[in-house]
Structure 1
Amino acid sequence: MKSVAHVYPWDIIGDPGAVQRILDLGVDAVALAASYHTVRAATPLHPEHRLVDARHAALYVPVREQAWGGRRLTPAEPSWVDGPDSYGQARDALKAAGLPVYAWTVLTHSSRLGDLAPEVVVRNAFGDRYPYALCTAQPEVVEYALTLVREIVEQGQPDGVVLEACGPLGFFHGGHHEKTEGGDWGKVRQALLSICFCTACAARCTEAGIEVDTLRAQVRNAVDAGEPDSVESALGAELASALAAVRTSVVAQLRALLVGEVRELAPQARVIVHASADPWATGPFATAAPELGVEVDAVVAMCWPGPEASIPGIEALRKLAPGTRIAGYVLALPPKPIEAAAMRAELAALAAAGVQEFHLYHAGLASGARLAVVREALDSLGQRP
């Protein structure tokens, strides 16, 4: 059983006690953000500040001219941390204490780049663009993701790479001050609103024999007709199957490309992918259906809702990727209670369901009381050396 704590570079830099707090958790490794979206982050235990306002997506290794020069999709440097290589600074501090460091790499979530290049973002059936969601059917986005991974591996020298949003985002996981709840769109309609009609996706659909205008009309009608039982019932089994094949193949190609790049550049590094077995899944846990298709060291299942809600997804991932290590993304923040017994029970239930490592979110955002809960829960499962 392994455990991995997630942190941001600013959680480590400037805090002499941060590394020891992570060591005290008893985790086996740290997932350190190397590429991340905009966030307003609490730093409850940092000696110098209580909040960090990361105002746009950024790359936390140097943005080198030789890699990015002349490209429209170029990541920004962060102005809220000192120096051009905050990932490297934090990595060195963690590794000096004997902690392996994984490069936590968010690939396609960037409102800044979506605003700069609106034609390469996800566009729904109504023509609405999602500026935070770079569409991986777009060759320019694929090249951006490949360069991002290459730069992080070459400069960051990580012990592992965690690929998040390895596929397009969709309706969910949107913008600031989200005000969409009143639409009463359930999971199926959110999936329908995540179907992309950008030029690249439309071209792929046409190549697959799908009449794009007909598909668009059916999606629009289904969204406005009330909550369907499934995407398949909304679109019809034949059309849904053809569309799912197009969408999953796009993500599979990206996943194979990026995993292959990591394997070539850093053969000894662990490769970990956030994934879902749902063929319509978008977002941080993009679809890996109908099969994973690449050899990775672990696939991470979303487990924030707790074991009862998460176990079906874990079991589906196991069927989709037999023989691959299953990790669980576990929330240590609200609305989870500050109760060691509850955390122990949650980890035990996930382990019984086949989870073989825990990815704990988040060692920098959590209060001291919450870190104590994590420490006690890991103790109870024999996690600590």
Structure 2
Amino acid sequence: MKASAFVYPWDVDGDPRAPETVAGLGVEQVTLAAAYHSTRALTPRHPRHRIVTAEHAAVLYPPDAGRWAGRDPRPYPAGDWAPGDAYGVAADALADAGLEVHTWVVLAHNSRLGAEHPHTSVVNAYGDRYPWAPCIAQPATRAYLVDLAAEAAVRPGARGTELESLGWYGLAHLHAHDKTAGVGLGDAGQYLMSLCFCPDCRAGYGGQGLDPDELAVAVRDALEPVWRGTAPSDGGWAGVEKLLGETRAGATRAWRDTTARSLQEAAVAAVRAAAPEGFQVLLHADPVSYHCGANAGVDPAHILSVADGVVVPCTGGAGLLTPFAEQAHDGTVIAANFTVVSGMGGSPGTLAADAARAADLGATELRLYHAGLASDGDLAAVRRGLGGRPYRG
């Protein structure tokens, strides 16, 4: 199967050996970050640094001043962690090494946006804002995300893109010094704590026949026994219906599913309009539409009618591939995404077996997270799994 490794520009820029190292893994493609959220990243082989701190969500290239003039929100340029056209410099070096370059674009995940413009954030039933999670129902935010998708995806020379966080973001997020594990929230609790009550979402619930004030009270009442530990909050969608009631739960999901679908359709259409013929558009996706996060919850049949395929998290098991495989058609890309950093829970030593299992479940390609973060030992295991050539660093 065709394989692609995720890479940041700062893994490559300033390290002349990096392109050969990645190409030597046995991958044909790289998925190179063009727009990314804040992070602190290890760079274990770079000749100039070992830790890169990306202080806020940013585009890793110079944004188009004409596109964004007078607009708010608009993308933030990167600081010294990715100066100038860091993406473009890295892309050229990787292409020169014979690798096909696709962009990696993170969209509805932006803590700086939420900090500077609190009204853009998801706000839960208690009135708490989630500054990392832009509300995708708000018209100005949707317009920003659609235009950002088109600009960041279609960089010079790119053959395709992978759009991450193109959907609802909610409570689940590894925030700095995260301390939210004191009460176990299963699928149902996570969903209720991720419901947004900003003015646009309140209007959306009203359009589904719900009184938003009554809904907020119902959510808080439903969660009260969860906080006390006297009621479970798992059980998938059935658990949500048990906590909130079938009618209310169904109405909230109808609003959120419709909102996410229309944003995904608009963003993919904008990318296609800006891209050359044959440009591939994939979404990082979860086949359960009410799930939130970087792998946006989607309906498999719908998303595969919109995009060219999906990138599916498989590190904990490849079972999420099946719903997408059941809806695939000729040419559909179903990429199984495996973490290959052992310190982040990956198992690079079992990559060959994991890939074979994923292929049995319908995967057509592999994604490896993450070539820049992995140790030399992890990369050696990847090379063995993919049949790459020895690293000559």
TM-score tier by shorter-chain length is over 0.9
C-alpha displacement of 1:174:
4.2
Which amino acid counterpart does residue 213 of structure 1 have in structure 2? D
C-alpha displacement of 1:320:
5.3
Match of 1:84 in 2: 84
Match of 1:328 in 2: 336
Match of 1:270 in 2: 280
TM score, norm. by length of structure 2: 0.91
Per-residue deviation, residues 325-377 of structure 1 (Å, max 9, x unmatched): 3211110112446662x232222222222211111100000011101111111
C-alpha contact 1:164 1:285 (8 A) present in aligned 2: yes
- Residue pairs, 1:162-311, within 5 angstroms: 162-226=162-226, 227-228=232-233, 229=235, 230-266=239-275, 267-289=277-299, 291-293=301-303, 294-305=305-316, 307=317, 310-311=318-319
Structure 1 CA distance, aligned partners of 2:88 and 2:353?
36
Q: Please, which moves more after superposition, 195-204 or 227-236?
A: 227-236
With over 3 angstroms needed to count, the CA separation of the structure-2 counterparts of 1:156 and 1:106, relative to structure 1, is farther
C-alpha contact 1:60 1:77 (8 A) present in aligned 2: yes
With over 3 angstroms needed to count, the CA separation of the structure-2 counterparts of 1:143 and 1:302, relative to structure 1, is same
Match of 1:361 in 2: 369
- Residue pairs, 1:19-34, within 5 angstroms: 19-34=19-34
Which amino acid counterpart does residue 119 of structure 1 have in structure 2? H
C-alpha contact 1:167 1:283 (8 A) present in aligned 2: yes
SS of the residue corresponding to residue 41 of structure 1 reads strand
Which amino acid counterpart does residue 269 of structure 1 have in structure 2? F
Q: Please, which moves more after superposition, 146-155 or 136-145?
A: 146-155
- Uncovered stretches (5+) of structure 2, i.e. residues with no partner: 227-231, 389-393
SS of the residue corresponding to residue 132 of structure 1 reads strand
Per-residue deviation, residues 203-260 of structure 1 (Å, max 9, x unmatched): 1111121221222122112222122331122222222222211101111111111111
Indicate whether 1:152 and 2:161 are aligned.
no
Identity %: 39
Which amino acid counterpart does residue 274 of structure 1 have in structure 2? H
Match of 2:323 in 1: 316
RMSD: 1.8
Per-residue deviation, residues 5-56 of structure 1 (Å, max 9, x unmatched): 0000000100011000111011121100000000000000111110101111
C-alpha contact 1:331 1:360 (8 A) present in aligned 2: yes
C-alpha displacement of 1:63:
2.2
Aligned residue pairs, count: 375
TM score, norm. by length of structure 1: 0.92
Per-residue deviation, residues 295-328 of structure 1 (Å, max 9, x unmatched): 32221111122x2xx41x2222334556633211
Structure 2 CA distance, aligned partners of 1:82 and 1:354?
37
